Amino acid sequence: MTVVIAVACENGSVVMGGDSFCGDEEVLNLCKADKVYKVGPVGVGICGWVRSEQIFERTLREQIPDKKQITAEWLRNDLTDLIHDAMKEHGIMNDKDGVHEMKESEYLLAFDGTIYHFDEDFSLWDSRRRVSAIGSGRKFAYGAVAALLKDVEGKPTTHDAIRIVSVALEVCADWSPWVSPPFKVIEIAPDTTQPNYE
């Protein structure tokens, strides 16, 4: 019950934005914690069960600063295993016929110009499309972003992407009862220097 939108830009950066909805069918509340943030060179967008989000963020903040070099392979293999183990340790998973799944959660990760979906089954995958969205407002997000991208040839500039994500978040709030401002939009720059995060 939220929306997070990410758009890949021509310069290798990713622009990501999220809303502040927190509630249920009866109560609209606004969470103070950001649904989009950065940990080192990795951008994160969160959606779902709050306890899962807390364990996910804690695992990222514990693991990424210790890495001298983040790679796509490390994200796909080691990080997904570390998050799986952390969720299992804290009882934040279901077992459906031997398949482990997080409780009602999904995430977007952005790294080095690529947007990754981290799904409930602990799979990490990236799309050939330059736009990704999660949350109950994602259908509105995809429609708004697709319409706004009609005026942009190729991949958008960072300036274009910030405008597109900002307008799409407003459209989502207009049409979805599960999306509410205030919004936060961030840029995740490409990882060109491979800094030491110790």
Contact 127, 115 (CB under 8 A): yes
On whether residue 14 sits in a domain, the answer given is yes
CA distance 20 to 62: 25
The answer to whether residue 195 sits within a structural domain is: no
Asked whether residue 194 is domain-assigned, the answer is no
182-191 average pLDDT score: 94
Within 8 A by CB and 6+ apart from 55, the residues are 83, 86, 87, 90, 92
Range of the domain at 74: 4-188
Q: Taking a C-beta distance cutoff of 8 angstroms, is the pair 45, 36 a contact?
A: yes
Q: Give residue 198's pLDDT.
A: 37
> For residue 168, is it within any domain?
yes
Residue 197, in any domain of the structure:
no
Report yes or no on 175 lying in a domain: yes
Average pLDDT of the segment spanning 88-97: 79
For the chain, how are helix, strand and coil distributed in percent, rounded to 5? 35, 30, 35
Q: Is residue 55 part of a domain?
A: yes
pLDDT, averaged across the chain: 90
Our count of domains for the chain comes to 1
What's the CATH code of the domain at 129?
A: 3.60.20.10
Partner residues linked to 118 by β-bridges: 107, 124
Give tens-digit pLDDT for 133-179: 999 999 999 999 999 999 888 889 999 999 999 999 999 999 999 99
In tens, the pLDDT along 109-137 reads: 999 999 999 988 888 999 899 999 999 99
8 A C-beta contact, residue 169 and residue 5: yes
- Tally of helices (H runs) and strands (E runs) in the chain: 5, 13
Residue 198 maps to a domain: no
Half-sphere exposure of 155 (CA within 13 A, CB side): 18
